[in-house]
Structures are given as structure tokens and as C-alpha cells.
């Protein structure tokens, strides 16, 4: 069987810079021969994303602005992609956001607005994006989202984002059930802690990484490239029997009690 992604097109949402997990996914899919389409939320990220993509040898990438808080923006983006390339074969959703003040202290203090914002960007967006993308997956396809252990159990400071990830995990499963009949598989990768722009400003991130190095079965943290290679597996025919699944790429940390 041929697991090359030659002749296949994938949409990557959520590259902010070279440390982004989305960039790890982009490099893995590129290495497998895929054509890539990048979306960014804010126009200030257009040039950095274009500059990064230009480093991928022979990649003829496309770029679209897409703020996932707007249904109209999501629909317009996929209408435009349909016009420009026609069929796509998959999508990587690497998007999350919560207000800084909701990522510390007690979860019980989360405001209604903060709760809704985190869920809007980090969980509902997968519904909006999947609905708009599915009609373009005329040959079947794969959708992958990024989640974290803090959605399965309580992790200090993750707070409202943990509740949003729990919603994202369930959202992924309901979407997998809906879209399976169209040959579209929907899965999640639960990544271990990786230093990215989102993780910046998190107090004690060094201590979080050190704890993984001391306790995780593999005694080390994971890389963007390792998450990227699992995304490649989930977006290729290698995983053709897998949907509605959460794969932990976390050095085994989640098995610990
Ligand atoms: P990055 O900061 O690199 O990426 C976060 C991305 O979210 C940015 O590219 C940002 O886009 C995008 N985003 C935020 N708001 C919006 C919006 N309204 N519309 C569209 N895009 C938006 O961090 P990571 O690579 O760490 O995060 C990617 C995913 O991985 C997230 O879901 C995160 O929760 C998850 N994850 C991360 C872990 C880690 O340790 N780093 C561990 C487990 C999961 P823009 O740059 O254009 O603003
Ligand atoms: C327990 C962990 C420690 C960190 C606690 C919370 C982390 C939440 C992740 C969330 C996505 C971060 C933000 O929303 C940051 C945001 O408030 C400010 N940053 C930005 O606006 C930057 C510029 C943009 C690019 O960021 C976004 N997101 O748009 C969790 C650790 C151990 C694992 C992590 C980091 C998990 C995760 O989900 O990212």
C-alpha cells in the first residue's frame, strides 16, 4: 500500500510561528508529498506564515485569513478554497484561546464571557470548520484536532481551557459519527506540554516540562515533529480504520495515576 500524500491537499489552521504544533504537522505532511493550505486568524500573521511556508522545498502553498469566531469568515474561506483547488483531503485544527486571567487562580472564578470565549474559539470552531470543509472532501478525508490531558482530568491553571478541551473531545466524537458516512474521519491528538507561543507567559512552564522529564515513561518531553508524524498517520490511509479516537503523544504521561 502507498502511504504517500502526493496529489493530496490539506488545510492547516493555527500556524503562528515555527514553534507552533501546526507547523510540526505542516512539515510532516510536506515531507510525505502533500500540498498545503494555511489559514491564520490575524493578518499580522500572514507574512510570518508565508515566510515559513517558503522554506518548504517545492511547496506551492495557498494562504487565507480565517478568524474562526466568524461563521461567515469560515464559510468564505472554504468557498474560496473550493474555487481555488476544488477537492481537499483533510484538515488540521490547531486552534485554542482563553483570556489570560482565566488561566490562573480558581476555575470557580471564571466569568461567563471568558467561559464562552474559550469554548467558542477552542471547541465550537471545530464544528464550524468541519461543516464547511466536509463538502470539499469529495474523495473522503481526515480531520485532526489538538487536545490536552487537562480536558480529561484537573490540571493546575488549565482551568477553563480544560473544560473547553473536554467539550472539544466530545465534539470530535459526535463529528466522527456524523461525518463517517461521507468517508471523513475525525480524530484528536492529545499532546504533552510543548513550549509554543500559547505556552508563553505560563508561569512555571519549565517546572511543567521538568515534571514530564522525571515522571513520563519515556522520561522526556515530546516535540512538534512527533505530533506532526502522528497527524500524518491520522490524515493518511495508514489510519483508515480509525475515527473518533484520541491518541496521546505525550511520552506516555497520561497512563500515570
Ligand atoms: P500556537 O500559539 O503556536 O498556536 C495557537 C493558534 O491558535 C495560533 O496560530 C492562533 O492563530 C490560533 N487562534 C487563536 N484564536 C484564533 C481565532 N479566533 N481564529 C483562528 N485561529 C486562532 O500554540 P500551539 O501550537 O501550542 O497550539 C495549537 C493547539 O495545540 C491548541 O489547540 C493547543 O490547545 C493545543 N495543545 C498545545 C499544547 C502545548 O503544550 N503547546 C499541548 C496540548 C495541546 P494566530 O496566530 O493567527 O492568532
Ligand atoms: C496546564 C498548562 C499550563 C498553561 C495553562 C494554560 C494554557 C492554556 C493554553 C491557551 C491556548 C493559551 C492562551 O490562550 C494564551 C492567550 O491567553 C495569550 N496568548 C496569545 O494571544 C498568543 C499571542 C496567541 C498566538 O495564542 C493563541 N492561543 O491564540 C497547560 C500546558 C502544560 C500545555 C498547553 C500549553 C496546552 C495548550 O492547550 O496549549
Length of the chain as a residue count? 257
pLDDT at 3: 86
The answer, yes or no, to whether any atom of ligand 2 lies below 6 A from the CB of 202, is yes
Q: Categorize the per-residue pLDDT at 203 as very low, low, confident or very high, splitting at 50, 70 and 90.
A: confident
Spans of all domains in the chain: 9-251
1 alpha carbon – ligand 1 mean position (Å) = 34
The CATH class of the 9-251 domain is alpha beta
CA distance 138 to 153: 37
What is the per-residue pLDDT across 63-76, written as a single tens digit (0 to 9) for each?
999 999 999 999 99
Integer distance in angstroms from the first to the last C-alpha of the chain? 39
- Give the number of the ligand closest to the Cα of residue 208: 2
The answer, yes or no, to whether ipTM is higher than 0.95 is yes
The answer, yes or no, to whether any atom of ligand 2 lies below 6 A from the CB of 208, is yes
Residue 10 bears catalytic tag: no
CA distance 145 to 90: 11
pLDDT at 101: 95
What is the per-residue pLDDT across 146-160, written as a single tens digit (0 to 9) for each?
999 999 999 999 999
- The alpha carbon torsion through 252, 230, 236, 121 (nearest 10 deg) reads 110
CA distance 138 to 37: 17
Written as one string, the DSSP assignment of 38-66 is EEESSGGGHHHHHHHHTTSTT---EEEE-
- Best residue for ligand 2 mutational test, from 165, 199, 253 (most atoms within 8 Å of Cβ): 199
Residue 148 bears catalytic tag: yes
Amino acid at each position: 500500500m502507498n502511504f504517500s500524500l502526493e496529489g493530496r491537499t490539506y488545510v492547516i489552521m493555527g500556524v503562528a510561528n515555527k514553534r507552533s504544533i501546526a507547523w510540526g504537522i505542516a512539515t510532516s505532511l510536506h515531507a510525505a508529498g502533500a500540498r498545503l493550505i494555511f489559514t491564520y486568524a490575524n493578518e499580522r500573521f500572514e507574512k510570518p506564515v508565508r515566510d515559513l511556508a517558503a522554506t518548504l522545498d517545492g511547496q506551492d502553498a495557498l494562504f487565507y485569513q480565517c478568524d474562526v469566531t466568524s461563521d461567515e469568515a469560515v464559510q468564505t474561506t472554504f468557498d474560496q478554497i473550493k474555487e481555488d483547488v476544488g477537492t481537499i483531503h483533510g484538515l488540521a485544527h490547531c486552534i485554542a484561546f482563553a483570556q489570560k486571567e482565566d488561566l490562573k487562580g480558581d476555575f470557580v472564578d471564571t466569568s461567563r464571557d471568558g467561559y464562552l470565549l474559550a469554548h467558542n474559539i477552542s471547541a465550537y470552531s471545530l464544528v464550524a470548520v468541519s461543516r464547511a470543509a466536509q463538502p470539499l472532501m469529495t474523495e473522503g478525508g481526515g480531520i485532526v484536532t489538538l487536545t490536552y490531558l487537562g480536558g480529561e482530568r484537573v490540571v493546575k491553571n488549565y482551568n477553563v481551557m480544560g473544560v473547553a478541551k473536554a467539550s472539544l473531545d466530545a465534539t470530535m466524537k459526535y463529528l466522527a459519527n456524523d461525518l463517517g458516512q461521507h468517508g471523513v474521519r475525525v480524530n484528536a491528538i492529545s499532546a504533552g506540554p510543548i513550549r509554543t507561543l500559547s505556552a508563553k507567559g505560563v508561569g512555571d512552564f519549565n517546572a511543567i516540562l521538568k515534571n514530564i522529564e522525571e515522571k513520563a515513561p519515556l522520561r522526556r518531553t515530546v516535540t512538534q515533529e512527533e505530533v506532526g508524524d502522528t497527524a500524518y498517520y491520522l490524515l493518511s490511509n495508514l489510519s483508515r480504520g480509525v475515527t473518533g479516537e484520541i491518541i496521546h503523544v505525550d511520552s506516555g504521561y497520561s497512563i500515570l495515576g
